[in-house]
Amino acid sequence: MHLIIAEKHIAAKRIASILAPDKPKNVRVSGVDTYEYGTDANKTISMGLSGHIVGVDFPKSYNNWQKVDAKLLIDAEIISTPTHVKIISALKKLGKEATKITIATDYDREGELIGAEALDIIRKVNPDVPFDRVHYSAITPKAINDAFSNPTTVDFNLADAGHSRQVIDLIWGAALTRYVSISAGRLGNMFLSVGRVQSPTLALIVDREKKRDAFIPQPYWEIFATLSDKDKDKDKETFLTQHKTKRFQDKQEADSVMAKVSTIKNAVVSSVVKSTKIDKVPTPFNTTEFITAASSIGLSPANAMRIAETLYTSGFISYPRTDNTVYPESVEMRSHIELFKVGGPFKQYAEQLLKKAELIPTRGKKETTDHPPIFPASLAKQSELKEDEWKVYELIVRRFFATFADPAEWETMRVKFDINGEEFKVNGARLIVPGWRWYYPYNAPEDRLLPVLQEGDSLTVDKTEIVDKETTPPSRYGQGRLIRIMEELGLGTKATRHDIIGKLYSRAYVHGNPIQPTRTAYAVVEALEEYANTITKPDMTSKLEEDMDKIAEGNIKEDDVIKESRKMLDSVFEDLEKNKEDISESLRTGLREDKVVGTCQKCGSQLMIRRSKRGSRFIGCEGYPDCNFSLPLPKSGQVIVTDKLCEEHGLYHVRIITPGRRPWDLGCPNCNFIEWQASQEAERAKRPKTPRPKSISDIAGVGKVTAQKLADAGIIKVDDFIETDAFELSKKTGITVKKIKGWQDAAL
């Protein structure tokens, strides 16, 4: 029996459907779907894994964070642990019967390691089974048939490189996370994640925000003049010009110029310079370029890669994890373009390209041999894809077409005007040859059209104005831009960068896009930068990335790189241990700031995010018990205090982050609570009126024990109960404020 092992279930199913002469039979083995075809004497079974089916971990004796020192994890034993018991069981059962194994996982470090893990499990039950490896960049009939016709061998060096990353990331992440979390007193679900790639990336974001915090706006002034053709009364063309001094730093100088031009009604064209600008054809998509483009159309890196992975396993696009920006000669591009001639929204574009005698694509700076750039592998119909899937597919198709197109051309015009001796300027541009922009219209600059102008022409000055402005701080990083910077600094890989950014969001270190760090992020980065700054710099982690590349090339042994990484981490811990108390104080102080929501309007103390004895969260006053002001918070989700301030209540807006859901911008907690109360009041008004309770025990939910507690607190009559302050009554009775308010509402 020939056993084919793919990385995922859908890939195994598609491979079987391509290779089988008839429809393959679905057979469950140990609870896992497999796809079988052929006769008993010549049977083939295709099965999918679920990514990694084994992981790396420490022995259970290291699990207790309080009892086992974080530093002991640096040199701890690393063990393999099963993560998908049913798949492993199916592998063993089928592997024992197999006469040949073909590894058909994705061709990259992770894919090679996943394949090697599966092979290792099989060889324990069938040591001498022959095996081979197939490489493909798209799950299409041609690509799969070509791959199985030209099998190669498993690259164990590449698998070792993937395994070394798992081990190094485990050791660094676990040791540093445990140390920092214990130092900060943040355990359980609120632990502070620290990592080899994650922390330098977070430092980039925090350092950028610090530059914004330190930025002092400087005033400047701009002077504009609106001009029109004086010979036209109707349909006259107006356009805006700006003084040649774009930014006046001196207000007196700006006022002086304004005084000269403000009463003048005539402008003379002093110069007209026309030229042509060539708009270069874009290069093919690699992962970073794709993520950047997807970000510009509203898709996060994680979402873009998830969708691209779905399109790949469905056979619609090529493998989306690639550094390559040069199409290999082995890929017949004309035939791929011809796929789109049959009809659909891309037909006219394909037909136009195919008119070219030669199809010569652009070439980017990066050329690799593992996978081609991302391109459409087959024709998809809009009706068979979800909205976001079609959005990504269309982006990839259009980029693919654009790489074969001609440059775009713009006609530009730079015009100067004289207004009472002061020079004003305007630039115009008009797309005269659409070229590649016809195929790929994303982020296209708009035409800036000007009327026909010649030197010496006289125009009417309709309006002059001076505009007060201020310099702006450096912009925050968008996710696409951050991934590009990570690539430049050697932080992470094409397959991991978007996941790293995703972790920063899930750990509530950052929020929003562009990316904004929380006070927790400040606290962690500031403590590490001051006392162990090698963790926050890209140098060490990029050195490890280079070493992992050398493992893949067969130039270094995996054990040597892991050993070296342990030494690096040892030196980091020396710095941490020297400054243990300072780090703890720095972290705890910084984390406390992340809980401050604003100032209490009742007493002037700080309002903080707090937890009750029962674990529920609320915003409470530091002046308690003298001040009992509080506001409710949602039961679940991470609470993020943003920098947006409510002018009415002096509270910062709050955002709730829940994994797997869109962030909820709750806004000002006080405004939100008032709005909620109003909605409850409106809801009550709609309900049929019920008789008002005559006694405390008639209120729904109030039993004899509760009624006695209220009586002991002096509450006998319903009117007294309704008028009593819920916070004060809560202190006297021990009943929660929420319950008391609910009963008061019910009694109205």
Q: Encode 594-635 in three state secondary structure.
A: CCEEEECCCCCCEEEEEECCCCCEEEEECCCCCCCCEEECCC
Say yes or no to pLDDT of 117 above 90: yes
- Joined together, the tokens standing for residue 84 give 């998908």
Say yes or no to pLDDT of 668 above 60: yes
**DSSP per position, 316-340:** SB--S-----S--TTS-HHHHHHGG
Place 709 in a pLDDT band, splitting at 50, 70 and 90. Answer: confident
Whole-number Å distance between alpha carbons of 648 and 645: 9
Quickly count: other Cβ atoms within 10 Å of residue 389's Cβ. Answer: 18
Q: Is residue 623 part of a domain?
A: yes
Domain carrying residue 277:
219-281+408-470
Q: Is residue 134 part of a domain?
A: yes
Say yes or no to pLDDT of 4 above 90: yes
The arithmetic mean of pLDDT across residues 451-468, rounded, is: 93
Tokens 């002093």 sit at which residue?
Answer: 270
Say yes or no to pLDDT of 223 above 90: yes
451: domain CATH number?
2.70.20.10
580: domain CATH number?
1.10.460.10
% of the chain exceeding 90 in pLDDT? 59
Same domain, 122 and 169: no
Q: Among residues 565, 586, 607, which one ends one of the domains? A: 586
Q: Is residue 740 part of a domain?
A: yes
Q: What is the pLDDT of residue 611?
A: 80
Place 230 in a pLDDT band, splitting at 50, 70 and 90. Answer: low
Say yes or no to pLDDT of 177 above 60: yes
**531 in catalytic set:** no
Q: Which of 312, 319, 477, 505 is catalytic?
A: 319
Tokens 């359980």 sit at which residue?
Answer: 188
Same domain, 386 and 296: yes
3-7, 247-251, 689-693, 712-716: the lowest-pLDDT one? 689-693
pLDDT digits (tens, 9 = 90+) for 29-48: 999 999 999 888 889 999 99
Same domain, 485 and 566: yes
| DSSP-derived 3-state class of residue 224 | strand
Same domain, 131 and 142: yes
Say yes or no to pLDDT of 689 above 80: no
Phi, psi of 186 (to 5 degrees): -115, 95
* Average pLDDT score over the chain: 90
The arithmetic mean of pLDDT across residues 661-668, rounded, is: 85
Nearest to 157 by CA among 616, 724, 550: 550
Say yes or no to pLDDT of 197 above 70: yes
Name every residue whose Cβ is closer than 8 Å to that of residue 104 and which is 6 or more positions away in sequence: 4, 5, 6, 7, 11, 12, 15, 46, 115, 133, 134, 136, 147
Say yes or no to pLDDT of 233 above 60: no
Q: Which of 329-343, 353-367, 425-439 has the highest mean pLDDT?
A: 425-439
Same domain, 184 and 233: no
Q: What is the pLDDT of residue 178?
A: 92
pLDDT digits (tens, 9 = 90+) for 66-103: 899 999 999 999 999 999 999 999 999 999 999 999 99
Same domain, 532 and 650: no
| Torsion on CA atoms 86, 88, 93, 94, rounded to nearest 10 | 110
Q: What is the pLDDT of residue 468?
A: 95
Say yes or no to pLDDT of 320 above 70: yes
Whole-number Å distance between alpha carbons of 237 and 93: 79
Q: Among residues 553, 586, 619, which one ends one of the domains? A: 586
39: domain CATH number?
3.40.50.140
Same domain, 543 and 651: no
Same domain, 205 and 234: no
| DSSP-derived 3-state class of residue 276 | strand
The arithmetic mean of pLDDT across residues 618-626, rounded, is: 87
Higher pLDDT, 386 or 592: 386
Q: How many folded domains does the chain comprise? A: 6
Same domain, 328 and 415: no
pLDDT digits (tens, 9 = 90+) for 445-456: 888 988 889 999
Say yes or no to pLDDT of 310 above 80: yes
Say yes or no to pLDDT of 234 above 70: no
Q: What is the pLDDT of residue 232?
A: 56
Q: Is residue 159 part of a domain?
A: no
Name every residue whose Cβ is closer than 8 Å to that of residue 327 and which is 6 or more positions away in sequence: 284, 333, 361, 372, 373, 375, 403
Q: Is residue 71 part of a domain?
A: no
Q: What is the pLDDT of residue 331?
A: 74
195-199, 262-266, 366-370, 440-444: the lowest-pLDDT one? 366-370
% of the chain exceeding 70 in pLDDT? 98
Place 430 in a pLDDT band, splitting at 50, 70 and 90. Answer: very high
pTM of the full structure = 0.82
Say yes or no to pLDDT of 690 above 70: no
Higher pLDDT, 657 or 517: 517
